[in-house]
Structure 1
């Protein structure tokens, strides 16, 4: 399994428009963060989790020329807004794009992208096939995926476990039952918004504590805002086996 971090930033991205803090003005490429998304290559298949507003740029940067499916964590725009840009894959592969999400996510997509589902379709619009998923294992192109049900304040969000890899974004609460699904992973990717406490996201301290509790040997933190601090500074402070992810980072399991 090869994982590429397409984006590691929070909903505003980093730098933030109009901000001149040391993070937003940093010349370190790792401090430039597009909206959060990952690409997974496994068994010859190509999957993306979430298509945020930067989806097109991410596909071009990583030269991803084939995509088998899109899987959504939740319905917020920083995770769905780039759906229209699956069109080139429709054209090049001559296939409708399978997209997977829980019912509220698919309903939101139908509203936000109503033209895709109109009775009289405009030529050249995205072609998608909706697949509703629930909190039970499912398969995408033969790849087995286990949802992990977490909360983003009061909004249910799906994380996913694929083999020894667990991916959880936009979270501030994980029940004991759902934590059991994560245990035994070799790698966990987990949201850590900033150092300060936040209503709907783990902060850095809470993310570190969760990784320690679950005893995962390797952890990468994502969905970070500019208030997290500089990558080089934070990485030096983190416990062994933990680091901030950055856009373009690639790992293999």
Structure 2
């Protein structure tokens, strides 16, 4: 998959003729904190740094020019991301979803997936495949029981909700998944020393890694994505929280630069 990156501030535009030639794209729907940006209300007349929760949309184009839209993470204001970026980039739907973990800034928009699904008041539509770990679905069963459960209770009314096909994946580099025809390799990383998180490696022509939340790369994961290890990456998308200092659950700028220096993406 040859890719072209599109930034959240829309300073890079999509070109239809490139898509007709089979060029896939990465659209950053959000690159902000879990609490969003700005963190506090801006002063009158101030133009704030405005960013949504971290989320990536992959417009994967096959050799026949057919598009598949793969969404990694569905944050707290997914509906606003749809209104702003799906309309801007003319994205018609989401074909599949991948979740890195189950924190609120990653999953709270799942209810609004119905906005990018065909309308059916009785939910008679094909469910959207969604890939996640067992730990994540157990957590989501508590947060969104009406999305996870398979059958209505006796006497329970049908209500229109997002239709999702839950598919369990493992936190194992040796067990890739196929989402809308594109292979993804789960990359276990640490998001704080007490919490496992999944980044993802994808792309045939352009080896790309997406890691939105990381505080440490385990040795096996770093070996897989390093130039000195299995094979050099073309693009590394990496968490960076603050310009200065350090944080217990995220890379900050210096840690990110150190990781780039070790991994050596192109």
The answer to whether the superposition gives a TM-score over 0.5 is: yes
Higher strand share: 1
Map of 1:60 onto structure 2: 83
Residue of 95, 102, 108 corresponding to 1:81: 108
TM-score, normalised relative to structure 1:
0.79
Aligned residues of 2:94 and 2:117 also touching (Cα < 8 A): no
| Distance in 1 of aligned mates of 2:236 and 2:135 | 26
- 2:198 corresponds to which residue? 158
Structure 1 residues 62-101: Cα deviation after superposition (integer angstroms, max 9, x where no partner)? 2232110110001100000000011123325932111101
Task: Kindly indicate whether residue 85 of structure 2 is the aligned counterpart of residue 42 of structure 1.
Answer: no
| Length-normalised TM-score, structure 2 | 0.75
Alignment of 1:120-199 (within 5 A): 120=153, 122-134=158-170, 135=172, 136-153=175-192, 154-163=194-203, 164-183=207-226, 184-194=232-242, 195-199=244-248
Structure 2: which 5+ residue stretches go unaligned?
1-23, 62-66, 227-231
Q: Structure 1: which 5+ residue stretches go unaligned?
A: 218-253
| Residue 181 of structure 1, CA deviation | 2.3
Contact 2:74-2:106 within 8 A present in 1 as well: yes
> Displacement of 1:196 after TM fit?
2.0
CA displacement, residues 217-244 of structure 1 (integer Å, 9 cap, x when unaligned): 3xxxxxxxxxxxxxxxxxxxxxxxxxxx
**Residues 1:112 and 2:143 are matched in the alignment:** yes
RMSD (Å) for aligned C-alpha atoms:
1.9
Q: Give the length in aligned residue pairs.
A: 212
Bigger Rg, structure 1 or 2: 2
Gap change, CA 1:119 and 1:185, over 3 Å in 2 = same
The change in CA–CA distance for 1:146 and 1:6 in structure 2 (over 3 A counts) is same
Cα separation, 2, equivalents of 1:82 and 1:196 = 31
User: Where has structure 1 moved over 6 Å in runs of 4 or more?
Assistant: none
1:94-109 mapped onto 2 (5 Å cutoff): 94-109=125-140
* Structure with more relative contact order (C-alpha pairs < 8 Å, separation 6 or more): 1
* Bigger helix fraction: 1
For the residue of structure 2 that corresponds to 1:91, the secondary structure is coil
